[in-house]
Amino acid sequence: MGNPEFAIPTLKSLLKSRHDLLAVVSNKPKPMGRGRYLKSTPVGQFAKENKVKLLEPDNLNSLDFKNQLKKLGADIFLVVAYRILPEEIIGIPRHGAINLHVSLLPKYRGAAPIQWALMNGDTETGITVFQINKKVDTGDILVQKKFPIFQDDNMWTLGTRLCKSGAEIIIDAIGKIEEGSIEILKQNQESVSFAPKITKKMRCINWSWSAVKIHNWVRGLSPYPSMYTVLDGKNIKVFKTF
């Protein structure tokens, strides 16, 4: 279950693995461009190109969608950058649902962990595979691995490395779950921090900030959605600072 390009390496790894990829779940195509033609999500397009069964529900709580999932007979659901799952869906497969999150949980729970790690000037981050429960990003940790953040990293370079490494880690986690050899770790509630969704207001450069803070925020939001400043009444996007 997923939507963006970030999830594609995981799908590729699953197709190459000994595990059966029974179906892919993604958002429905949306009208795009001047012609308003329908465009699938990157995950949806990948499923079509590789002839994998594709489910594109309007409503995750619909009875029809839940029945479709039950008919698959899946042992586990894997989520990479998708919507919050209803509790009833989480409980359908015998091994529940697991999520690939790009931070060292419980640090940076939320929608933008890569961005906030860079924006805060962190020198390391990581990948966590965890068991999904009814509260967002709070489930038991199944696998966790640290990765360095390099000085010249931005959101794209760091995200690319993490999504490729995450694809390998998630396959390892699924194998251990199947074997019954997974070691479960509870999240430390005293170490919780959050990575909220980036808003347009956050993206406007505050020139009263230190040069280091501006630099980190620019790299954290580059190339998308990017920081910006206003010059002569026009918004100027800033992709890199030195």
Q: Dihedral, CA atoms, 28, 33, 35, 37, nearest 10 degrees?
A: -20
pLDDT tens string 14-37: 999 999 999 999 999 998 887 888
What mean pLDDT, rounded, does the chain reach?
96
Residue 85 pLDDT > 90, yes or no?
A: yes
For residue 23, give the DSSP letter. -
pLDDT tens string 157-201: 999 999 999 999 999 999 999 999 999 999 999 999 999 999 999
Q: Residue 45: its pLDDT value, please?
A: 97
- Please name the helix (run of DSSP H) or strand (run of DSSP E) that holds residue 30, with its range, or none: strand 30-32
Residue 207 pLDDT > 90, yes or no?
A: yes
CATH node for 5-191: 3.40.50.170
Q: Provide the percentage of residues in the chain whose pLDDT is more than 90.
A: 97
Residues facing 48 on adjacent strands: none
**Residue ranges covered by each domain of the chain:** 5-191, 201-238
* Mean pLDDT calculated for residue range 194-223: 98
* Mean pLDDT calculated for residue range 146-152: 97
205 burial via Cβ count (<10 Å: 0-12, 13-18, 19+): middle
Residue 217 pLDDT > 90, yes or no?
A: yes
| Burial per residue of 44-55, b for 16 or more beta-carbon CB atoms within 10 angstroms, e otherwise | bbbbeeeebebb
Report how far residue 30's alpha carbon sits from residue 9's, in angstroms, rounded to the nearest whole number.
23
